[in-house]
Structure 1
Amino acid sequence: MISMLQPLWWFALPLLALPLWWHMRRRERTKTEALATARFLPQAAPQQQRVPQWIDRLLLLLRLLLLLNLIAWLAVTVFPWRGDTVLVHENLGRDVVARESAAAGMASASVVVLPPDPLAWLEAHRFEFRRNARLLILAPGLPMPARRPEPGLALTIRVLPPAGTEPLRPAVRHLVLATTGEREPQWRAMIAAFAAAGERHEIAQAPTPETELVIWDRPGDPPAGWRAPLWWRTSAPPAGAMAVASAGIRLAVADTSQGRSWSSPDWPAQDPDKARAIYEAWRQLAFEPAPYRMPSAEFRASGSATAPEARPSAWLALSMLALFILERVLAHARRN
């Protein structure tokens, strides 16, 4: 209840007229004595006019700022103004947004383009929403957060396919296979086993800018102009290589001028289990982890969203203290 009444403090802004009225009504009280020659002058009521000085204007300004700061501190400067809102992904069509909004009973809600991190945006702007506001997020998918979201508002997340998208195709990995004729069938059989993970592999004779892996299974060194992010070598590891064990595969890893080099006695694989272990080592050490997508979910409203409104910003309290000290110093200097 207190947090709901806090914005009403802004209606106290007319109190700023009090310092103005006080400064206009203030008059100097001085002791007056009649002169001996005053009897020759016509009688008239004494009038006094005080000329304001610069310190008076500064003191008036400080008192106005102090009162304004106090009102802002009481109102916490946050006024919940947002109602029902639909956050949509930019790739969704208008017809899809209209259909889903109507199905959720939010046809008249305002539409906002989905920010890069919707959950973090809601956490930072949740005090802008009224207590009874409802939120609907329409997106192809959101990264799963580390902990369960607690928006405090009625929130519905619906995962929808973007408009005009084609069915997902397997990822393509560009490889270069440089080996002997005797061992090439073994390497190709191992690469074909990788397709069970839902990927396609294109094998070329020389590296291109898209090449991710070069398999060098020949005697001698590769051409100096070949470059790739990752190399698989069957030769002895270079000096300074670091021993690594991943997914049951023994590796010697070293960074060279041509790319990162992996040397292992475990390839090419002779059976599917060994091929699966090699692929797992490749995925864990070379591929960026794919984020886990958040499914559709609903969150009920709770009272926790408006509780932090009772905590004013620290800078408001510090500025009010500084204004009060300056006002007292100037008031004392004015009297003396």
Structure 2
Amino acid sequence: MMLSSYPLWWLALPALLLPVWWHRQKRQRLKAEMLATARFLPSAPPEQLRVWQWRDKLLLLVRCLMLAALIAWLAATIFPWRGDTVLVDAGVDKAWAEKEIAAAGFSAAARAELPPNALQWLRANERDWRADAKLLIVARASQIAMPARLPQYNHQLTLRTHHAIASSPTASAAAPAERQVVLAAPDARSAAWRALFAAFSSAGEGVARYATAVEPDAKTALIVWDTPDTAPPANWRAPHWWITTPAAFPELANATPLTINGITLKYAHSPRGRLWTSDAFPPRDASTARSLYEAWQLLDAAPAPAYPAPSQTFTAARSALPAIVKAQPASWLALALLTLFMIERILAHARRN
């Protein structure tokens, strides 16, 4: 099975129309012989006529096949072109980065910006580097997460990470995470909801800060829908919804019940996000609000932070094949292309004679 290393070459398939157009433009002149009485006739330009013979159609087919084989060969063949390269994190300390690059012997190497998920990206695109190329990653420690399994590459990879030192205890303290909440409720109930999320922000030693908004965007973590007899706009999306009127959401008809910390919740999945409803929305006393907060912390737990990767060197493991291992140079396509070219030259010579 042949896979494409560079599938964008297949976009050149419309070029197969070029041989057809070229053949349609070919014209063959009729042979004209001068007669003795021709001097009494007005001069006329020689006529041209399209003549399609069996060898013309065969020649057209061979040229189309040759062009298709060329595109397939380019799409399936790997052309390593990169040499020694340094992937530099844009936010790393410049002086430290230059020192590490010089110490590693990569002063003359090409430089590129560090992509997101650099180790995974390098694994998927390693085929672009020549066999003798070496790579260096210079980045902040927070930008390179230590993988669960030590990766293997076909090229030697040197990783240099920089741990920023906080200048003061206040600088090292992590800022509270901001959770944006879209509040859709009448004025009579908005005050209770705002007071609830203000209490959420001060609870848990300020781990998270809840800010209310009018309409959702990419940062929205929760939508509170407390508008009776009204359905939300179709384009509203959020990871979680708190709903006080389940009738507006048909998905909640088959909701799954769940009891956490004395709070009974029902939830259902939908294209809008995960829908939650409960008789405790909104809480009517401080005890219910505290129980709701503790239950929500269990349901909406933040992901564990990634462990930063230390500086290290990954030796070249030639047995570690790249991610696109099944893509071969397709030598048989090169032989087919050569054969088609020879047939095309023979047919073209026969056509002229």
Query: TM-score scaled to structure 1, two decimals?
Result: 0.52
User: Alpha-carbon deviations, 1:161-217, whole Å to 9, x = none?
Assistant: 6899x8652222244487769977994586247645821123x5x735576545567
Q: CA deviation at 1:127?
A: 5.5
Distance verdict in 2 for CA 1:274–1:261, change over 3 Å = closer
Q: CA RMSD in A?
A: 5.6
Q: What does 1:268-287 correspond to in 2, within 5 Å? A: 268=283, 270=288, 275-282=293-300
Of 187, 191, 205, 2:200 maps to 191
Distance verdict in 2 for CA 1:190–1:303, change over 3 Å = same
Q: What does 1:248-259 correspond to in 2, within 5 Å? A: 248=260, 250-253=265-268
Equivalent in the alignment of 1:46:
none
Q: CA deviation at 1:325?
A: 4.8
User: Alpha-carbon deviations, 1:32-80, whole Å to 9, x = none?
Assistant: xxxxxxxxxxxxxxxxxxxxxxxxxx9xxx9xx9xxx9xx99xx87466
Q: CA deviation at 1:329?
A: 7.5
Q: What does 1:97-176 correspond to in 2, within 5 Å? A: 97-119=97-119, 120-121=121-122, 123-126=124-127, 128-131=129-132, 133-139=134-140, 140-142=142-144, 148-160=150-162, 168-175=174-181, 176=183
Structure 2 distance, partners of 1:253, 1:297, is 45
Equivalent residues of 2:82, 2:133 under 8 A apart:
no
Distance verdict in 2 for CA 1:121–1:265, change over 3 Å = same
Q: What does 1:169-318 correspond to in 2, within 5 Å? A: 169-175=175-181, 176=183, 187=196, 191-192=200-201, 195=204, 198-202=207-211, 207=214, 212-213=221-222, 215=224, 221=228, 229=238, 231-234=241-244, 238=248, 240=250, 241=252, 242-244=254-256, 248=260, 250-253=265-268, 262-266=276-280, 268=283, 270=288, 275-282=293-300, 292=306, 295-296=309-310, 298=312, 299-304=314-319, 312-314=328-330, 316-318=331-333
Per the alignment, in what secondary structure is the counterpart of residue 303 of structure 1? coil
Equivalent residues of 1:214, 1:232 under 8 A apart:
yes
Structure 2 distance, partners of 1:117, 1:133, is 19
Query: TM-score scaled to structure 2, two decimals?
Result: 0.50
Unaligned runs of 5+ in 1: 1-57
Equivalent residues of 1:91, 1:163 under 8 A apart:
no
Structure 1 distance, partners of 2:130, 2:97, is 21
Equivalent in the alignment of 2:34:
none
Structure 2 distance, partners of 1:279, 1:136, is 37
Equivalent residues of 1:151, 1:305 under 8 A apart:
yes
Distance verdict in 2 for CA 1:291–1:181, change over 3 Å = closer
Distance verdict in 2 for CA 1:209–1:244, change over 3 Å = same
Q: CA deviation at 1:98?
A: 0.6
Equivalent residues of 1:213, 1:231 under 8 A apart:
yes
Q: Tell me, yes or no, if structure 1 residue 82 matches structure 2 residue 96.
A: no
Q: Tell me, yes or no, if structure 1 residue 320 matches structure 2 residue 320.
A: no
Percent of aligned pairs with the same residue?
Answer: 23
Structure 2 distance, partners of 1:319, 1:144, is 42
Q: Which has the larger radius of gyration?
A: 1
Equivalent residues of 2:231, 2:248 under 8 A apart:
no
Per the alignment, in what secondary structure is the counterpart of residue 332 of structure 2? helix
Structure 1 distance, partners of 2:106, 2:130, is 15
Structure 2 distance, partners of 1:125, 1:280, is 41
Q: Which amino acid aligns with 1:243?
A: A
Structure 1 distance, partners of 2:305, 2:161, is 15
Structure 2 distance, partners of 1:121, 1:102, is 22
Structure 2 distance, partners of 1:325, 1:182, is 79
Structure 1 distance, partners of 2:339, 2:271, is 66
Q: CA deviation at 1:234?
A: 4.3
User: Alpha-carbon deviations, 1:85-129, whole Å to 9, x = none?
Assistant: 321022334323112324545445432222345332454244524
